[in-house]
A = this chain, B = another copy of it.
Amino acid sequence: MGNQVKPFGVLLRQRRLKSGYSLRKFAQLADVSPTYLSQVEQGKVERPPTAERVRKMAELLDQNPDQWIALAGRMPEDLRDIIKSEPEAMPALLRAAKGLSAEELRKFTKRMENKRDEGGKK
């Protein structure tokens, strides 16, 4: 509900400027060409960079890498494996989680963690 998904490129540019990096400087740190970085920030590329590169950028700007990867429309590699490990139950879980608020999701997350910590019996 009301989750305004700001384009990845816009967010990237905002954060980069806030950190005081020029386009060329940051491109160098992130190990991409200035041209490409410019295109990404403008949303001129079909799809944002790879998950690995997005992770690097997020780290350079002190942002949450997972969040940025998801915002870029990529999938953190481990999530794919998690889903694969329970190919029926995990998709169902995600679809059920779809409408819930972030707070509710966090609550469920906590409960799941407790479930695991309380003893890997069996």
Interface residues of A (CB under 8 A from B): 1, 3, 5, 64, 66-71, 73, 75-76, 78-80, 82-100, 102, 104-106, 108-113, 115-116, 120
Which of these, B71, B82, B111, contacts A87 with CB under 8 Å? Answer: B71
Closest to A104 in B: B115
Number of copies: 2
Contacts of A108 in B (CB 8 A): 93, 96, 108, 111-112
Contacts A89-B102, A102-B88, A115-B104; is A82 near B64 (CB within 8 Å)? no
- The answer for the CA separation of A90 and B100 in the assembled complex, in Å, is 10
A94 touches B83 (CB 8 A): yes
Please pick, from B71, B73, B84, B100, the residue contacting A71 in the complex, using a CB distance under 8 A. B84
